[in-house]
Amino acid sequence: MIEVRRVAIVGFGTMGSGIAQVFAQAGFSVVAVDVSEEVLKRGLDNIWSGPFGLKKAVERGKLTEEQAREAFSKIKTTTNLPEAVKDVDLVIEAVFEDFEVKRKVFAEVDAHAPPHAILASNTSTLSITALAAVTKRPEKVVGMHFFNPPPIMKLVEVVRGFLTSDETVEVVRSLAEKLGKVPVISRDSPGFIANRIGVVPILEAIRLYEQGVASARDIDTAMKLGYNWPMGPLELADFIGLDVLLGIAEVLYRETGSPAYHPPPLLRRLVAAGYLGRKVGRGFYTYK
């Protein structure tokens, strides 16, 4: 079985930067790739001083100042993808949730990464089997689905594509454990496990709100106190991002045909109006 030592992350946005931080905190050397120096700088700022970044971990007493600096020094950045992947053992793709964009990235990574390297995608909804098909190593293509924010969330879904080998699944599963995460294994099916189930009650909460059955606050309170959810479904929708949620619902609706995933019209209106949730300060709630 290959031992993963060097890791490249392609796409240094919300998830890519969080995933880079997780690897660096676990002692791995990471090279992160994105399209411009400006985006790379934003990713590094997020890792150092973002709400789940290394400085916050020091303030919370999770890391010493020295450990935080050591982790930060393990992350290198570049806009040169071929150079970044040429001698790594694992590439994690975390670019936009768009099949065409991911397809091009996978083809380029496949052309430049060493033959033994595993190619993983952090996709939430797209097919691992379809991404594997654009490479010459489908047995080494796998889903490694982190949750947001990666430094905090324990779950990693390891997704087995149609042609993914047992060895690849095992390498990624045990790697997730080394990162301090809890891996679960899923076949390549729309939404895998957590989103396939979790999106349904969130969409139902939006329908209740849309129909005027209860206020946003009361819907959230009902689920927090009645079902012991740590966050209400509408708070969770704002946290995920209403545009991201809509994208997930659209794929699940298209792929399964189940009305449970039909995006409520209100969700579309909110996204069209730019009410995207916490990240812009407005969604179902208003944030400072």
Ligand X SMILES: NC(=O)c1ccc[n+]([C@@H]2O[C@H](COP(=O)([O-])OP(=O)(O)OC[C@H]3O[C@@H](n4cnc5c(N)ncnc54)[C@H](O)[C@@H]3O)[C@@H](O)[C@H]2O)c1
95 counts as binding ligand X under rule CB under 6 A = yes
In angstroms, the CA 175 to CA 237 distance is 30
- Name which of 10, 13, 22, 70 is nearest 175 in CA terms: 22
Residue 128, CB half-sphere, CA atoms under 13 Å: how many?
A: 35
Active-site residue 122, yes or no? no
Size of the site for ligand X (CB under 6 A): 24
Active-site residue 195, yes or no? yes
- The token duo for 140 is 């080494």
Taking only Cα atoms into account, the Rg of the chain, rounded to an integer number of angstroms, comes to 19
251 counts as binding ligand X under rule CB under 6 A = no
Among 21-29, 46-54, 121-129, 206-214, which window interacts with ligand X (CB under 6 A)?
121-129
233-240 vs 242-256: helix axis angle to the nearest 10?
100
21 counts as binding ligand X under rule CB under 6 A = no
Active-site residue 157, yes or no? yes
Residue 10's H or E segment, with its range, is strand 6-10
Pick 93 or 220: Cβ nearer ligand X: 93
β-pair partners for 118: 90
Q: Is the peptide bond before 259 cis (omega within 30 degrees of 0)?
A: no
The catalytic position among 17, 124, 127, 235 is 124
Other beta carbons within 10 angstroms of residue 180's beta carbon come to 11
C-beta of 211: minimal distance to ligand X in Å?
27
C-beta of 250: minimal distance to ligand X in Å?
12
12 counts as binding ligand X under rule CB under 6 A = yes
127-to-132, 165, 191 alpha-carbon distances in Å? 9, 16, 9
Task: Name residues contacting ligand X, limited to 32-61 (CB under 6 A).
Answer: 33-35, 39
88 counts as binding ligand X under rule CB under 6 A = no
In angstroms, the CA 225 to CA 247 distance is 29
C-beta of 12: minimal distance to ligand X in Å?
5
In angstroms, the CA 203 to CA 42 distance is 32
127 counts as binding ligand X under rule CB under 6 A = no
Active-site residue 186, yes or no? no
C-beta of 161: minimal distance to ligand X in Å?
15
Task: Name residues contacting ligand X, limited to 132-161 (CB under 6 A).
Answer: 147-148
70 counts as binding ligand X under rule CB under 6 A = no
Residues labelled as active-site residues: 124, 145, 157, 195
Q: Which residues bind ligand X (CB under 6 A)?
A: 10-16, 33-35, 39, 94-97, 101, 105, 122-124, 147-148, 240, 244
